[in-house]
Amino acid sequence: MADLTIDHLTKRQGNTLLLPEINLQITSGQCVVIQCNNELGHLLIQLLLGDIPASSGHVLMEGESLPQTFKKQAHKIGVSLLNDGLYERLTVKDWLTFYKKLYPASIPIDEVLHKIGLVDKQNSRISSLTFSEQKRLNLGRSIIHNPALLIWEEPEQNVDIESHILIRALLTQLLNEGKAILITTAYLADAVSITNEVYRLNEHEFKKLDVVDESETDLPTDVTAPSGEHPSQTALLPPAAIEMRPVRVEKIPAKVDDKIILFDPTEINFIESSEGISLLHVKGATFPCVFTLNDLEIKLKPFGFFRCHRSYIVNLQKVREVISWTRNSYSLILEDDKKSSIPLSKGKYDELKGTLGI
């Protein structure tokens, strides 16, 4: 039996669908990451914990309703939220001791401090800790009672490199101990680097992404990681470093660290060529692709993509407006969050009108 089962869970407000239907199972020793905006992620966690009622569906832990289990058997679940408060006047050790007595818990405080890298700060007031140290302390509080299920909201958002390393090491330890872990994050790059069990959640759908380890594919290995959705930036390799290989036409591959993501064509807003690298723009993020713009034009044309400029291919399903600035200057405005503006070459204007039948 799965440790956590989410069955046909939805949330509506009047006639508006706030959260699409979610079906998910997480078992012991498994980590699942849901990539979504902060608002949706927090809404989902509120539904899981019973803070707000669901419109339909059930959430079960070991066969029992999770909201009831959380209230009656809180020792089985550990939660760390993005905006959790801290008692800043207490020392690190006193704060953890307070929660240890609250549950009660049997794990030694020193063991938790070691896991979150705060042994040398145990007698420091919480108010003196950095943002990243406070984030790690909150994660430590969520594991103090040795729960079977962990629910973490944005555990790595804006943390420093040291904390990033410590949190990843903690995740590995917890999974080796057989914990079931559910994480929400806005950053796709973080999600796929944590696990291959990645789901994308938006107002319209809940969908599992095709994520595989690079060693399991025969795709090129020398395209660098993306920069679009995560604060860190990584330079792209020169075009000569990319080797072309065949790929299934219904999936377009992109690279994140040592993982390959296979995108459905319908997920792609547009593609641009920068310094010889084809960059996929997907829901506000940018991912380097292993194929040239010419190859992608051929592969994506049956899916309604149009070569609007020598450096751009656009998904016509995403185009909201065609703007004429001058007699020789045109732009396509997309219906994404950024209202992206894509150049339309003068020579492509008539071709586009023919394609659209106008």
pLDDT band at 154 (very low <50, low <70, confident <90, very high): very high
Residue 294's pLDDT is 92
Q: Residue 193 corresponds to which amino acid? A: S
pLDDT (tens digit per residue) in 142-152 = 999 999 999 99
Averaged pLDDT, 10-19: 93
Check residues 333 and 238 and name the one with the higher pLDDT.
Answer: 333
Residue 328's pLDDT is 67
**Percent of the chain with pLDDT strictly greater than 90:** 51
Q: Which residue has the tokens 């470093």?
A: 241
pLDDT band at 240 (very low <50, low <70, confident <90, very high): very low
Averaged pLDDT, 290-308: 92
pLDDT (tens digit per residue) in 28-52 = 999 999 999 999 999 999 999 989 9
The domains found in the chain, sorted by start residue, are 4-207 (3.40.50.300), 209-356 (2.40.50.1020)
Averaged pLDDT, 222-239: 41
Rounded Cα distance between 191 and 195, Å, is: 7
CB 285 within 8 A of CB 229: yes
CB 154 within 8 A of CB 186: yes
Averaged pLDDT, 280-286: 87
Q: Which of 104-108, 191-195, 214-218, 307-311 has the highest mean pLDDT?
A: 307-311
Least confident of 13-27, 158-172, 196-210, 246-260: 246-260
Using alpha carbons, select from 179, 176, 80, 193 the residue that is nearest to residue 137: 80
Residue 217's pLDDT is 55
Residue 234's pLDDT is 35
The number of beta carbons lying within 10 Å of the beta carbon of residue 34 is 21
pLDDT at 220 over 80: no
